[in-house]
Amino acid sequence: MKLIRLTSPVVASALALALSTAAALAAPKKVLFFSKSSGYEHSAIKRNGDAPSFAEKTLTQLGASNNIEFTFSKDGTIFTPENIAKFDAFMFYTTGDLTEAGTDKNPPMTKEAKAAFLEAIHNGKGFVGVHSASDTFHSPGNRDYGAGRHENDGDKADPYIKMLGAEFIVHGSQQKAHQIVVDKSFPGISAVPDDFGPLEEWYSLKDFAPNLHVLLMQDTSTMDHASDGNKRAYDRPNYPSTFAHMYGEGRVFYSSMGHRDDVWTNPVFQQVLLGGLNWALHNVDADVSPNLEKVAPQARMLPPR
């Protein structure tokens, strides 16, 4: 009986191809988690010396079990063309104008780097924004909680805000608030129970992109409309709190959750976050047809100053 040698050129070539294909399929997706705070620095991303922040520890664990490789940085100089090209997606937990050193004094990105980063998203890179990612690169006239914060900017919104899909206005006191589940078919959203409403610092948002696909919506009827210093932050109709949309060829996902450490350890939030990450990374697909006007037709009605 003639035996076929596994080292024959044809078999060896096929085996090498199979192994290289398997290796390519197993290669982790690379995500830059950027947490520079040019404005207020949240405790979830604050480092104690060289020790990673609470959010970084959580993402490291989630990444290890979901084939996602995170790089963590607060240094804006990381945004070079070469580094931007290395990552499949970017995840922001940031505040303020990131082209300024600001509060944490970490090196800022340049204005040219900001433009290159936004262009990379538009050309197909993924983006995930958490909590204060919407309190970043405010539109003209919206800094320092002036009157402009309570007006929609429309076409005058900062290019970053247009990419993200919404901008932070203000928040009231931390409270439990019901999240209306809009689309359970989106990755991770099926894990959200209908009565979900954790204790959180909920953001009141504005300047929603017209092509938003709303996933979770803030049920303002369940909220305290007279909460401490910002007494009427939630005195408005329901509005999106977690959403996805396309920015050119790029997939963009945002959730206003993520202020509290116990939210980061909440399995529901983790599934929502992983669903958004996997979608932004093209690991899974989903229908993100615009639904803002259908599910939140009064979302552009903002709270009084």
Q: What confidence score (pLDDT) does residue 139 get?
A: 86
CA separation, residue 301 to residues 105, 206, 223, 233, 290 (Å): 36, 9, 16, 12, 19
Round to whole Å and give the CA distance between 54 and 223: 28
In terms of phi and psi (left: phi > 0; alpha: psi -120 to 50; beta: otherwise), the region of 230 is: beta
User: pLDDT in tens for each of the 305 residues of the chain?
Assistant: 333 333 333 333 443 434 334 434 569 999 999 999 999 999 999 999 989 999 999 999 999 999 999 999 999 999 999 999 999 999 999 999 999 999 999 999 999 999 999 999 999 999 999 999 999 999 886 766 666 788 899 999 999 999 999 999 999 999 999 999 999 999 999 999 999 999 999 999 999 999 999 999 999 999 987 655 566 899 999 999 999 999 999 999 999 999 999 999 999 999 999 999 999 999 999 999 999 999 999 999 999 87
- pLDDT for the residue 305: 78
Distance of CA 225 to the CA centre of its chain: 26
d(CA 267, CA 246): 26
